[in-house]
Amino acid sequence: MSAIVTLYALAISSNQNREHWTRYAMQQLEGLGECQFSRIYQIPCRQGKGADYYNLAVLLQTHLNFAQLDAFLKQLEVQAGRIRPSHHIPLDMDIVAHGATISSLQPVASRLPLPFDAVKPLSELWQDCPAADASMPYQIVNQ
């Protein structure tokens, strides 16, 4: 592990056994460092070909570097049974930004533009989130 603490903004979604896999992801992330979670939103599948998603965002402070955290997230997806490509997604976890502080978060270029289903929960935690329309009315699953 690196001695440097980095702040990451993460997007998490699930449309298969949603309660279980979002809870699992949150528990696993709490083991890596300090976490701040958004509310969980129920958002329709973008292409309309799968079940509705649970989407949430996380701000995570950890000693892991980008590559280590990305590998950890992808391993959690595999453990959840994620198969690509598919509209049936037990767990999808992406790093969308990173930096030393909330004010210095830089978006991951390959993730831009951020999809609307990631922006809504991210905007709760990161006021400068590169926004699509975060005002869309999605059902909040938890407070």
Summarize pLDDT for 64-115 with one digit per residue, the tens. Answer: 999 999 999 999 999 988 777 766 788 999 999 999 999 999 999 888 888 7
pTM of the model: 0.86
**Percentage of the chain exceeding pLDDT 90:** 58
Those residues whose C-beta lies under 8 Å from the C-beta of residue 84, and which sit 6 or more positions away, are none
- Ranges of each domain in the chain: 6-140
Contact in structure between 129 and 114 (CB atoms under 8 Å)? yes
Those residues whose C-beta lies under 8 Å from the C-beta of residue 88, and which sit 6 or more positions away, are 15, 16, 50, 51
Domain 6-140 of CATH type 3.30.420.40: no
pLDDT for position 28: 98
Residue 143 above 70 pLDDT?
Answer: no
Neighbours of 99 (CB within 10 A): 14
Residue 56 pLDDT level (bands cut at 50, 70, 90): very high
- Does residue 29 or residue 143 have the better pLDDT? 29
Residue 137 above 70 pLDDT?
Answer: no
